[in-house]
Chain A
Amino acid sequence: MHEFSIADAIIHVAQELVQQNGGGKVEQIHLRIGELRQVVPDALLFAFDILKQDTPLSDASLEWETVATRVRCKTCGSEYHPNDIFWECPSCGATGAEVVAGEELDIVGITLVEGSDGD
């Protein structure tokens, strides 16, 4: 259940961002989560809903796009979406590729409730 740590970090980072942008009430937090981060959606939502209570994000919901894993073959250099756990290269059959995408864990946007910003 590392999702609790991730939810906790989301709340901290999101609060910081809202403050830096003049405050306001958060409606939704937009995330980008790579497949390799092993985040279980239900576990993240469960953790977030518990931890957001009594914070300025108590009415906020989470929304995210999943970033598919992409790797680069160390032998022949081709880039591909792996189809098995060994990340076998479809071009040359080698394994042990390096990650190009899939480790993202970012906040990419925050929607504030209309008229709630501090200005």
Chain B
Amino acid sequence: MEIKVVKRIMEANEQHAEVIRRRLREAGVVALNLISAPGSGKTSLIEAAIHNLEGRVRIGVIEGDPDTTRDAERIARLDVPVVQINTEGGCHLEATMVLRALEEIEVDSLQLLFIENVGNLVCPVVFDLGETYRVAVVSAAEGHDKPAKYPALFRTAQVTVLNKVDLIPYLDFDEEQFTSDVRRLNPEMPILRVSCRTGEGVSEWTEWLLGRL
């Protein structure tokens, strides 16, 4: 006997993402899902935003990592509410994990919530976290071919941050190719050139954030 149905496999994740979206909307919070390879500087971008927006925007952070609370410790030093999710080997965040983390943060007191996904350019793309915007982060040292090799992230993001631009003179990074690939994948998406180390482009990053509030 065959039971005929049409049932969405990811229904649970989609439902939880919807609960998160509604909760954030009610609280007037804009949430950003930062997706990148490991080591591209997601935490540094969040730190830079916290520094630049201090006293102007109330920020909270959810950190996702397979292990350790190192990123959460970095953020906690800046006196910002932070929750660490450890996926214990898991390669991406899911809406259920974020929903649980939200219970530990006073959402109503925030304006901006950063969700730092697990470093991975494939799996996080498949899971809606109820975010308002998706941020693709690439560091120059990873090479200019990442958008072409991992197109799904760049098709679904609303902004791309090219980080560590101060390293470009020392790398074989073809920025023209990078920019042209990103533009062809997602013609309207802004590309922000940033170096968290030198501070270059950090004000453009924070201006972009302020424009979302």
- B1 touching A2 by the CB < 8 A rule? no
Q: Which of A30, A107, A111 lies at the interface centre, i.e. has the most chain B CB atoms within 10 A of its CB?
A: A107
Tally of contact residues, B, Cβ under 8 A = 31
For window 147-201 of B, CB contacts with A under 8 Å fall at 148, 151-152, 181, 184-188
Taking CB atoms, residues of chain A closer than 8 Å to B7 are: 13, 17, 106-107
Q: Closest CB of chain A to B14's CB: distance in Å?
A: 10
Chain B residue at smallest Cβ distance from A40: B122
B-contact 0/1 string along A94-119, CB 8 Å cutoff: 11100000000111111110100100
One of B19-27, B49-57, B123-131 at the interface: B123-131
Query: Per a CB cutoff under 8 Å, which of A2, A10, A107, A112 touches B91?
Result: A2
Q: For chain B residues 1-41, which have a beta carbon within 8 Å of chain A? A: 1-13
Asked if B126 and A38 sit within 8 Å, CB to CB, the answer is yes
Q: Are B12 and A24 in contact (CB under 8 A)?
A: no
Q: Restricting to A1-56, which residues have a CB under 8 Å from any CB of B?
A: 1-2, 5-6, 9-10, 12-13, 17-18, 21, 24, 30-32, 36-38
Contacting A112 at CB < 8 Å: which of B3, B11, B125? Answer: B3
Question: Would you call B92 an interface residue if the criterion is a C-beta within 8 Å of the partner chain's C-beta atoms?
Answer: yes
Q: Which of B108-156 contact A (CB under 8 A)?
A: 122-123, 125-127, 148, 151-152
Set of chain A residues within 8 Å of B123, measured between Cβ atoms: 1-2, 5
Neighbouring B residues of A88 by C-beta, 8 Å: 184
Q: Which residues of A contact B125 (CB under 8 A)?
A: 38
A71 to B9, CA, bound (A): 22
Tell me, rounded to whole Å, the shortest Cβ–Cβ distance linking A61 to chain B. Answer: 14
In the assembled complex, which residues on chain B have CB atoms less than 8 Å from the CB atom of A112? Answer: 1-3
In the complex with contacts A36-B152, A95-B185, A2-B126 CB distance below 8 A: yes
Query: A94: which B residues are within 8 A, CB to CB?
Result: 187
Are A1 and B91 in contact, CB atoms less than 8 angstroms apart?
A: yes
A24 touches B1 (CB 8 A): yes
Closest to A104 in B: B8
B2 near A111 with CB under 8 A, answer yes
Q: Which residue of chain A has its CB nearest to the CB of B94?
A: A5
Q: What residues of chain A lie closer than 8 Å to B1, measured between beta carbons? A: 24, 111-112, 114, 117
Question: A10 → chain B, closest Cβ, in Å?
Answer: 6
Q: B8 — nearest CB in chain A belongs to which residue?
A: A106
A107 to B2, CA, bound (A): 12
Closest A residue, CB atoms, query B185: A86
Pull 11 A–B residue pairs with CB atoms less than 8 Å apart, ordered by A. A2-B126, A5-B127, A9-B11, A17-B3, A36-B152, A38-B152, A96-B186, A109-B5, A112-B1, A112-B3, A117-B1
Residue numbers of A with Cβ under 8 A of B are 1-2, 5-6, 9-10, 12-13, 17-18, 21, 24, 30-32, 36-38, 85-86, 88, 94-96, 105-112, 114, 117
